[in-house]
A = this chain, B = another copy of it.
Amino acid sequence: MPSSRVWPAFAAALIVFLAANTGRADEGMWTFDNFPTDAVKARYGANITPTWLDQVRLSVVRLSNCTASFVSADGLILTNHHCSAACIDDLSTAEQNYLAKGFIARSRNEERKCSRQIADVLVAMENITETINAATKGLSEQAANDARKKTLTALEQACEESSAKQNSRLKCEAVTLYDGGQYFIYKYKRYTDVRLVFAPEEGIAAFGGDPDNFQFPRWCLDMSVLRVYENNQPIKSPNFLRVNFAGPAAGEAVFVAGHPGSTERLLTVSQLLEQRSNAPTSLLRSSELRGRYIEFGKRGAEQQRIAQDPLMGLENGLKVRRKQLDALLDEHLLDIKIKQETALRAAIAKDKALTARTGSAWDDISRALQTSRAIELPYSQLEGGAAFSSQLFRYARLLVRGTTEREKPNTDRLREFADARLPRIQQQLQAPTPVYPELEKLTLSFSLERMREYLGPDHKLVRSLLPKDSPESLAARLIDNSKLADPVVRMKLWQSGASAVAASDDPMIALARSVDADTRAVRKQMEDTVEAPIRVATERIAAARFAIFGTKVYPDATFTLRLNYGVVQGWKENGADVTPFTNLGRLFERATGADPFRVPDSWIAVHDQLDMKTPFNLSTTNDIVGGNSGSPLINARGELVGLLFDGNIHSISGSFWFDAERNRAVAVHPAIIRVALEKVYRAEELLRELTVAR
């Protein structure tokens, strides 16, 4: 990077343009309405047409926390194993452990419903920025914040009502892009009957476990296959991606369409520093919980089974946040961010009108963050739920709040309880998700103990909850006496409404009731004194950025559909080349026989029939982040040539910037998918459906 001397305005703007949030190298998580087709053509010769874009968009599926894509005309979708792990876990029992043993439906009636899964297909996007700006114009920060939310809820509602009238019954979700620079309504076709078709053993899906997670070279068959149903029949899905089992060549241009969850590349320096200061608390908490889960798992086979999936999720998050903290502690990265911000502000300062419109946005954010510091702790413990880590408590809070909110006019509610969101809440309440009391006691006693540590033993809330109890004895009493593990009990309360919930003597409901007023108060305080001023300020900064750069910027990830481009490529690690493909032979060489480096018996049994040169995983330069898991890797002809499942370790800093030198996406090669289905799992029907689809 250039040194810190003051450049002329143009150069300054150029630096911002190049380094901050535009398509340098293969950077960018582009919305489909603003994909840089010209740049892609210039760089890779690939001709991305509107038809290509429509076809891909309608083939891509958003799952509850991942991406998937249709791979046959009969509603078959391909995603990662880890995207289906919660479903596989829900379907498993001590006797029938599908995580460990894998799952294959040999016929359609063996396909098993994932009770909490959804599948959304984005069918339309409507820009509502002007409506929102009109609704908030001239209002105070707090009033604007309230008006913005009400308007978003009202627009979602109007959209769904209008769609219902046309019998298309779309789900309408407000989307905030560019930290408030744009507002959209995204319209999805939503499917709520998603069934498990195939999952290999976790031992091969996540070979290498946590040690290998975010590493490359890699050997993971991180795949699962689901099917989307409607009216108890597989849907017809004319838009799907044909699988090209040969996979891409090194250096070939590839595209990733999916739902990157969250990036923070547009944050101000003060926001980054605040994140840096806050990061250790949650990291330490997760790290302790990791130790508790692991030790808990040693009590016995069943304990190991029930701790396995939460542990994997926890370890994944831990690694991500740990590497994010490393990035924030990297003086070089921070220096670049400071220079970018300085350059942007200098460019604004050259324009009087823009300066006036932008106002004291950066200072406003810093001030709001100061305010945030004072309430962050009770906020995270109460509204964030850190004090009550328990599935039963989460049900209780949903019931207490949901039934109360439901009685209010739609636009007066907490946004998460707007009409458009109630069906999803109901789906969760009625799902027969297993609740394990022993594990619940672990997480709840742990979280109560940390609440006491962080708030202090003399805090009002702590005194009121633990006047005589230890965290353990309180957790045990709550878990043992609550009936909320039963979906019938939950649904009865949900349907009976606020008065029934208010009258319930379920101890978990009683706990959720008892803290609700304080919880709402600290949330309101956070919204009014932190969120409101920051939103106004970020809208101003976004507007200034648009004024300077036009549409040549992309928004931070928001778990909405994006497309990016890249190329099959390795990188240099400590001076040595990392090649972009791994092969099957090395999997067996690396196996130790002990988890997580144990190759499943199913693979060992057919070892001699397998071609050890079969490509296994590959790396690409695509700009991805969590939420992209399960995304198709697509070639210029629109074929699926890989199944994205991870990034390399350097990709984690992608939360804050794109490191073109080292940031790599990691995908399952389609060749190993074919070998697995054909030779290992003998899933002929499934392979036929995928192959016919060519």
Give the chain B neighbours of A50 by CB distance below 8 A: none
Number of copies: 2
A291: min CB distance to chain B, Å: 3
Residues of B within 8 A of A288 (CB): 287-288, 290-291, 294
Query: Within the complex, what minimum Cβ distance (angstroms) separates A445 from chain B?
Result: 9
Q: A280-B322, A322-B280 are in contact. Are A470 and B595 (CB under 8 A)?
A: yes
Q: Does A466 contact B (CB under 8 A)?
A: yes
The closest CB in chain B to the CB of A453 belongs to B211
Contacting residues, chain B, for A285 (C-beta < 8 A): 287
Contact between chains at A456 and B325 (CB < 8 Å): no
> Which residues of chain B are near A594, meaning CB under 8 Å?
466, 468-470, 473
Distance in Å: Cβ of A592 to nearest Cβ of chain B: 5
Q: Which residues of B contact A468 (CB under 8 A)?
A: 592-594
CA distance A636 to B292 in the complex (A): 50
Q: Which residues from chain B contact A138 at a C-beta distance below 8 Å? A: none
Select the residue from A288, A290, A299, A326 with max chain B CB neighbours within 10 A. Answer: A288
- A191-232 interface code vs B (CB 8 A; 1 in, 0 out): 000000000000000001011100100000000000000000
Q: Which of A270-310 contact B (CB under 8 A)?
A: 273, 276-277, 280, 283-285, 287-296, 299
CB distance from A478 to the nearest CB of B (A): 15
CB-defined contacts of A452 to chain B, threshold 8 Å: 211
Q: Chain B residues with Cβ under 8 A from A277's Cβ?
A: 326, 329
Q: Which of B284, B442, B467, B590 contacts A287 (CB 8 A)?
A: B284
Partner of A331, one of B208, B210, B215, B273: B273
Question: Considering only CB atoms and an 8 Å cut-off, how many residues of chain A contact the other chain?
Answer: 48
Q: What's the nearest-Cβ distance from chain B to residue A376, in Å?
A: 13
Query: Separation in Å of the A443 CB from the closest CB of chain B?
Result: 11
**What's the minimum C-beta distance from A217 to chain B, rounded to whole angstroms?**
9
A457 contacts the other chain (Cβ, under 8 Å)? yes
19 additional contacts, CB 8 Å, given A211-B457, A470-B595? A211-B456, A215-B456, A277-B329, A280-B283, A280-B329, A283-B283, A284-B322, A288-B290, A288-B291, A288-B294, A290-B291, A292-B294, A295-B442, A299-B299, A466-B592, A467-B592, A469-B592, A469-B594, A470-B592
* Interface residues in chain A, defined as those with a beta carbon under 8 Å from any beta carbon in chain B: 208, 210-212, 215, 273, 276-277, 280, 283-285, 287-296, 299, 318, 322, 325-326, 329, 331, 442, 446, 452-453, 456-458, 466-470, 473, 590, 592-595, 597
User: Can you list 20 residue pairs at the A/B interface with Cβ under 8 Å?
Assistant: A211-B457, A215-B456, A280-B280, A280-B329, A283-B283, A283-B284, A284-B318, A285-B287, A288-B290, A288-B294, A289-B291, A291-B293, A291-B294, A292-B292, A295-B296, A457-B590, A467-B592, A469-B592, A469-B594, A473-B594
